Amino acid sequence: MAGPHGQPIRVGILGAGNICSIYIENLQADPMFDLVGIADMVPERTQSRAEKYGIEGMTPDAMIQRDDLQAVVNLTPPLAHFGTSKALLQAGKSVYCEKPLAFTLAEVQELVALAEASGLRLGGAPDTVLGAGVNTVMDLIQGGHVGTPVGYAAHMLCGGHESWHPDPDFYYQPGGGPLFDMGPYYLTALVHWFGPVASVAASARTVRDHRTIGSGPRAGTVFPVEVMTHIVCTLTHHSGVIGTLTTSFETPSHELPHIEIHGTGGAIRAADPNGFGGPVVARQPGQEWGEMPLGSGPENNMRGLGLRALYEDASSPVGAPRVAHVVEIMAAALESAQQKSVLTLATRPACGWDSTARA
């Protein structure tokens, strides 16, 4: 697929932070797209990236108003995602946004309405759900390797990002925290495998109220923690599968698998959903754990592939319905922890394990 008159789709990148390099490299290598330029609130960042990759540097306002761009990849900080995505859609541009697209279901629905009214494409990360690792697990589940899926235990456990990130403050500000930062990788995969979540119950806490930056020019700077940093969720899917997801910035040492799936006939340990590849290991009763051959999909870091997926398949896992559902799950989990209650979800995208598809 190409743009008007058979030409590549002209794309801009909004946000020149740490993650932009892999997006730039992958988009420049994809003949579907013509990466025109990059914009950032920090002019020095814009200039540095533009010069390095041979693209045009511009201000964010200029990118939003450019009438020769058909799509923009939004890599701004999380708190800016909703506002900038809204401005881009209002300016007639399709949007692929880093996670999370927004922080409430109402915000996502507002963006969806804007996109639909103008015939624009809208979706967001993570596109790791398109990789060989996630696809292999899906093939095993649909192939009956675990029998009937029963549950899972998912773990995103680390000590936080301040040890390596030069500007980690936003991870600990409203809209940050381990659930909204890393949860989308796990939840997008889990929803892809087991279908939409019907209800959420969660508990949460914050252990440390300050963090210290460990690298870069601001090393030694102390900053406050304003979010929950250890969240445990119980997720009940419409398919009947019940699982737990723990996300934490308080646990630097552990040996737990990223995701372990249990069924009536076996188990699977999925690879890190923050990557595209493996390993994926599995076992059945009476057998040892064994590594499974990877199926279709990329294994290397193909961030930006989601933009292509948006143009090729309206029902893609990176499309707005799935993104909205994941945002609703996360927002409901934090609300559940605060209210100490079980919350029922409103969205129900069509996806996930189908027992009728098994041979």
State whether 76 and 145 are in the same domain.
no
Q: Is residue 313 part of a domain?
A: no
Q: Is residue 309 part of a domain?
A: no
Q: Are 197 and 191 in contact (CB under 8 A)?
A: yes
Q: Is residue 305 part of a domain?
A: no
Phi and psi torsions of 332, nearest 5°: -65, -35
Q: Which of 1-5, 209-213, 218-222, 304-308 shows the lowest per-residue confidence on average (mean pLDDT)? A: 1-5
| SS3 of residue 171 by DSSP | helix
Residue 293, judged by CB atoms within 10 A of its CB (0-12, 13-18, 19+), counts as exposed
- What is the tens place of the pLDDT at every residue in 136-165? 999 999 999 999 999 999 999 999 999 999
pLDDT at residue 2, rounded to an integer: 63
pLDDT at residue 1, rounded to an integer: 53
pLDDT: is 1 or 151 the higher one?
151
State whether 223 and 177 are in the same domain.
yes
Average of pLDDT values for 244-252? Answer: 97
Strands 56-58 and 33-39: parallel
- Residue 38 structure tokens: 């990059």
Instruction: Report the CATH number that the domain containing residue 258 is assigned in CATH.
Output: 3.30.360.10
Residue 290's domain comprises: 129-297+320-357
Residue 60, judged by CB atoms within 10 A of its CB (0-12, 13-18, 19+), counts as buried
Measured between alpha carbons, how far is 210 from 264 in angstroms, rounded to an integer?
Answer: 44
Neighbours of 118 (CB within 10 A): 14
* Residue among 146, 172, 160, 92 nearest 262 (CA): 146
pLDDT at residue 327, rounded to an integer: 97
Q: Is residue 256 part of a domain?
A: yes
Q: Over 90: is that where the pLDDT of 18 sits? A: no
Measured between alpha carbons, how far is 1 from 115 in angstroms, rounded to an integer?
Answer: 20
**E strands along 98-171, which residues?**
122-124, 149-157
- What is the tens place of the pLDDT at every residue in 50-98? 999 999 999 999 999 999 999 999 999 999 999 999 999 999 999 999 9
Q: Are 88 and 62 in contact (CB under 8 A)?
A: no
Q: Is residue 308 part of a domain?
A: no
Ramachandran quadrant class, 119 (left: phi over 0; alpha: psi -120 to 50; beta: rest):
left
Residues whose CB is less than 8 angstroms from the CB of residue 355 and which lie 6 or more positions away in sequence, other chains included: 148
Q: What is the residue type of 42? A: V
The last residue of one of the domains, among 73, 93, 127, is 127
pLDDT band of residue 357 (cuts 50, 70, 90) is very low
State whether 118 and 45 are in the same domain.
yes
Task: Tell me the torsion sign for CA atoms 254, 198, 307, 310.
Answer: positive
The last residue of one of the domains, among 96, 112, 127, is 127
State whether 141 and 234 are in the same domain.
yes
State whether 257 and 289 are in the same domain.
yes
State whether 289 and 173 are in the same domain.
yes
State whether 97 and 149 are in the same domain.
no
Residue 94, judged by CB atoms within 10 A of its CB (0-12, 13-18, 19+), counts as buried
Q: Over 50: is that where the pLDDT of 358 sits? A: no
State whether 134 and 222 are in the same domain.
yes
State whether 225 and 275 are in the same domain.
yes
State whether 149 and 262 are in the same domain.
yes
Q: Is residue 111 part of a domain?
A: yes
- Residue 13 structure tokens: 């990148």
Chain mean pLDDT for the chain? 95
Q: Is residue 335 part of a domain?
A: yes
Q: CA separation (Å) from 347 to 97, 105, 255, 327, 329?
A: 20, 9, 34, 10, 9
pLDDT band of residue 356 (cuts 50, 70, 90) is very low
Counting the structural domains of the chain, the total is 2
- What is the tens place of the pLDDT at every residue in 226-243? 999 999 999 999 999 999
Q: Which residue has the tokens 């940050």?
A: 176
DSSP notation for 4-66: GGGPPEEEEEE--STTHHHHHHHHHH-TTEEEEEEE-SSHHHHHHHHHHHT-EEE-HHHHHH-
Q: Is residue 303 part of a domain?
A: no
State whether 200 and 280 are in the same domain.
yes
Instruction: Report the CATH number that the domain containing residue 36 is assigned in CATH.
Output: 3.40.50.720
pLDDT band of residue 353 (cuts 50, 70, 90) is confident
The last residue of one of the domains, among 127, 143, 166, is 127
State whether 58 and 154 are in the same domain.
no
